[in-house]
């Protein structure tokens, strides 16, 4: 168990090392921080922290640097994450509020996170399985061709051009459109197949084959879009970072989207921030990195997750505050209606 005094010393070591990227000595600690104890006591506390595995000495006669275990204790004992300034909050709100659709929201979000944290930002698209139907549009293109547009409650839009087996005029298309929306408005996408099972029987016989074709394409669309999608930005920020492993390994890991989805975490609590530090990452290529992630959605219903990846020597209070704030704004935008 680490007492409050040793925790204060560890906190000071982490803050100084993150700021300077130089091993921290007892003399600099007593000069920069009001620890309220003598330099000898600080040296003793540092020795105890090193024995417990929270800090290490990279070179003989050098100061100490935090270990993954030390960063973990620092994060777990944070009294609070660093809140964004009023100006930063207004800038985030204004920037994200200008988005015109889901793709724009995701693109703006990932760019914003990369700029705020100077790390690699990752944003996961809401899975179709977590969405509900807001509207289905059938747009006649020719007498035997229509465009189906599926719009979800999260703003996701899927479009498909459908070749109909028979010629259908605009009024009959309008009737099928009305039936689809009356049947599916607010329906969870996972429940769509069961919900539309008897729909062909509710249209005139002359339109039954066309309705079957439309429903077939709709169900195919849901299946084809099942895979999770990620957007990444800020990879150039890695050039200025220092890693205990090679940069090439990190870049290779970033190409594995399945790995990133797993690392973003699986908690369903949208208010929780997940922090994976160094060796806590199961993927070898990311053992020298830390990942800070949060869910976005409505209440306790998580739509997807977003976060940042960077070296273990990151400013955790600032990064956690930025990730939490952006996740909240994205939640407000996507669940406003």
Task: For the chain, 337 residues long, give each residue's pLDDT as a single digit of tens.
Answer: 688 899 999 999 999 999 998 999 888 888 888 888 888 898 999 999 999 999 998 877 678 999 999 999 999 988 777 888 888 888 888 888 888 788 888 999 999 999 999 999 999 888 766 778 989 999 999 989 999 999 888 777 888 999 999 999 999 999 999 999 999 998 988 889 999 989 998 888 898 999 999 999 998 887 755 456 788 998 888 877 766 567 777 887 777 777 777 777 765 566 688 999 988 888 877 888 999 999 888 766 677 889 999 999 999 999 999 999 999 999 888 776 5
Q: State the Cα–Cα distance between residues 224 and 25, nearest whole angstrom.
A: 57
The domain that contains 19 carries what CATH number? 1.10.10.10
Give 94: exposed, middle or buried? Use CB within 10 Å, 0-12, 13-18, 19+.
exposed
81 in any annotated domain: no
Domain identity same for 212 and 136: yes
- The token pair at 277 is 């530090």
Given 224, 255, 286, the domain boundary residue is 224
How crowded is residue 216: how many other Cβ atoms within 10 Å of its Cβ?
11
Residue 320's domain is classified under what CATH number? 3.30.450.40
Backbone angles phi, psi at 228, to 5 degrees: -70, 150
Residues 107 and 243 in one domain: yes
| pLDDT of the residue at 336 | 66
Residues 193 and 257 reside in one and the same domain: no
Sheet containing strand 273-277, edge to edge, reads 230-233, 120-124, 301-311, 289-298, 273-277
Q: Give pLDDT, residue 226.
A: 46
Residues 269 and 149 in one domain: no
The string of pLDDT tens digits covering residues 102-154 is 888 899 999 999 999 999 999 988 876 677 898 999 999 998 999 999 988 87
The pLDDT value given to residue 277: 93
3-state per-residue secondary structure call for the chain: CCCHHHHHHHHHHHHHHHHHCCCECHHHHHHHCCCCCCHHHHHHHHHHHHHCCCEECCCCCCCEEECHHHHHHHHHCCCCCCCCCHHHHHHHHHHHHCCCCHHHHHHHHHHHHHHHHCCEEEEECCCHHHCEEEEEEEEEEECCEEEEEEEECCCCEEEEEEECCCCCCHHHHHHHHHHHHHHHCCCEHHHHHHHCCCHHHHCCHHHHHHHHHHHHHHHHHHHHCCCCCEEEECHHHHHHCCCCCCHHHHHHHHCCHHHHHHHHCCCCCCCCEEEEEHHHCCCHHHCCEEEEEEEEEECCEEEEEEEEEEECCCCHHHHHHHHHHHHHHHHHHHCCC
Give yes or no: residues 35 and 150 share one domain. Answer: no
pTM: 0.77
Number of compact structural domains in the chain: 3
Is residue 165 located within the same domain as residue 190?
yes
Last residue of a domain, one of 172, 197, 224: 224
pLDDT at 178: 94
Domain that holds residue 50: 4-76
Distance, in Å, from the CA atom of 71 to the CA atom of 137, rounded to the nearest integer, reads 51
- The distance from CA 87 to its chain's CA centroid, rounded to whole angstroms, is 23
**What pLDDT is recorded for position 129?**
67
pLDDT single digits (tens) 60-108: 767 899 999 999 999 998 877 788 888 888 888 888 888 878 888 899 9
């Amino acid at each position: 168990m680490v007492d409050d005094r040793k925790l204060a010393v560890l906190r000071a070591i982490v803050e100084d090392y993150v700021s300077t990227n130089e091993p921290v000595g007892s003399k600099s600690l007593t000069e920069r921080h009001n620890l309220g104890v003598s330099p000898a006591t600080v040296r003793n506390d540092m020795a105890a922290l090193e024995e417990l595995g929270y800090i290490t000495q990279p070179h003989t006669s050098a100061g100490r640097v935090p270990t993954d275990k030390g960063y973990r204790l620092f994060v777990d004992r944070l009294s609070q994450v660093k809140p964004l300034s009023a100006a930063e909050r207004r800038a985030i709100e204004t920037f994200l509020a200008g988005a015109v659709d889901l793709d724009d929201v995701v693109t703006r979000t990932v760019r914003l996170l990369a700029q705020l944290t100077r790390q690699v930002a990752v944003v996961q698209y809401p899975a179709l399985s977590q969405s509900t139907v807001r509207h289905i549009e059938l747009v006649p293109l020719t007498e035997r061709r229509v465009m189906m547009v599926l719009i979800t409650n999260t703003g996701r839009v899927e479009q498909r051009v459908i070749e109909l087996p028979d010629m259908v005029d605009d009024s009959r298309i309008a009737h099928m459109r009305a039936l689809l929306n009356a049947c599916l408005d607010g329906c969870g996408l996972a429940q769509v197949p069961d919900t539309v099972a008897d729909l062909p029987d509710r249209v005139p016989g002359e339109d039954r084959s066309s309705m079957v074709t439309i429903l077939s394409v709709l169900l195919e669309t849901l299946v084809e879009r099942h895979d999770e999608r990620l957007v990444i930005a800020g990879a150039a920020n890695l050039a200025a970072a220092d890693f205990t492993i090679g940069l090439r390994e990190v870049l290779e890991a970033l190409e594995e989207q399945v790995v990133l989805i797993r690392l973003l975490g699986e908690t369903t609590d949208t208010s929780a921030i997940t922090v994976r530090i160094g060796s806590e990452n199961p993927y070898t290529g990311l053992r020298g990195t830390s990942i800070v992630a949060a869910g976005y959605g409505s209440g306790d219903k998580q739509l997807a997750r977003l976060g940042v990846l960077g070296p273990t020597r990151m400013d955790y209070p600032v990064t956690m505050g930025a990730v939490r704030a952006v996740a909240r704004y994205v939640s407000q935008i996507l669940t406003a209606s």
